[in-house]
């Protein structure tokens, strides 16, 4: 039954992308150490266009608690500074006219707990996305059966394989979540 295999392969690819997307979102959640990924979600109003920060500047982490942002165009430094201030990263920019420095403060216990809640919410969004992929694929399999293109035994086997795949991806997300929680809570 190659059409069923195609559906399952498609579902696996989509679920992999959901896990990767969640992993990427985890990268933008601040832990105690500086990481250029913290600024990935920041867009800057550059001559009237919302432009991703990484297209306007080089972001690096020269020290464990310091990020530097070096704009390619010095005239954009004020706009970049404003975008960082207005974002949800919680860092205060310091600029000397050519480079912006961001001190990453030590996280308080309370802030760590808040960040754990944030990553749990992101993980839940990822799980919902995986379950939605399962639901859509199940729907496609039922349509195949109803159209007479697949027998109910084949459909049942495919649904079992799909459920196993879903469980596997949810478990993978849980492992990624656990690692991120430990990273956040590590003092």
The pLDDT value recorded for residue 152 is: 77
How far is C-alpha 183 from the geometric centre of its chain's CA atoms?
Answer: 16
Q: Is the pLDDT of residue 115 over 90?
A: no
Q: Which of 105, 24, 99 is nearest to 64 (CA)?
A: 105
Q: Is the pLDDT of residue 27 over 60?
A: yes
Model confidence over 161-175: pLDDT tens digits? 889 999 999 999 999
Q: What is the rounded average pLDDT for all residues in the chain? A: 83
Model confidence over 118-155: pLDDT tens digits? 889 889 999 999 999 999 988 888 888 888 877 878 88
The pLDDT value recorded for residue 1 is: 53
Q: How far apart are CA 183 and CA 187, in angstroms?
A: 9
Q: Is the pTM of this model over 0.75?
A: no
The pLDDT value recorded for residue 185 is: 79
């Amino acid at each position: 039954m190659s059409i069923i295999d195609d559906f399952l392969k498609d579902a696996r690819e989509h679920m992999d992308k959901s896990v990767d997307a969640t992993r990427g979102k985890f990268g933008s959640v601040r832990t105690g150490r500086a990481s250029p990924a913290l600024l990935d979600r920041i867009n800057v109003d550059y001559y009237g266009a919302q432009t991703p920060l990484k297209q306007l500047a080089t972001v690096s982490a020269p020290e464990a608690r310091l990020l530097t942002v070096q704009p390619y165009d010095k005239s954009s430094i004020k706009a970049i500074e404003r975008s960082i201030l207005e974002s949800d990263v919680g860092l205060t920019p310091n600029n000397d006219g050519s480079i912006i420095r961001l001190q990453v403060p030590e996280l308080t216990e309370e802030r760590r707990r808040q960040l754990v809640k944030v990553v749990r919410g992101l993980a839940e969004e990822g799980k919902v996305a995986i379950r939605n992929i399962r639901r859509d694929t199940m729907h496609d399999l039922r349509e195949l059966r109803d159209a007479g293109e697949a027998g109910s035994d084949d459909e049942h086997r495919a649904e079992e394989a799909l459920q196993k795949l879903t469980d596997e991806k949810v478990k993978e997300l849980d492992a990624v979540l656990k690692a991120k929680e430990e990273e956040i809570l590590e003092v």
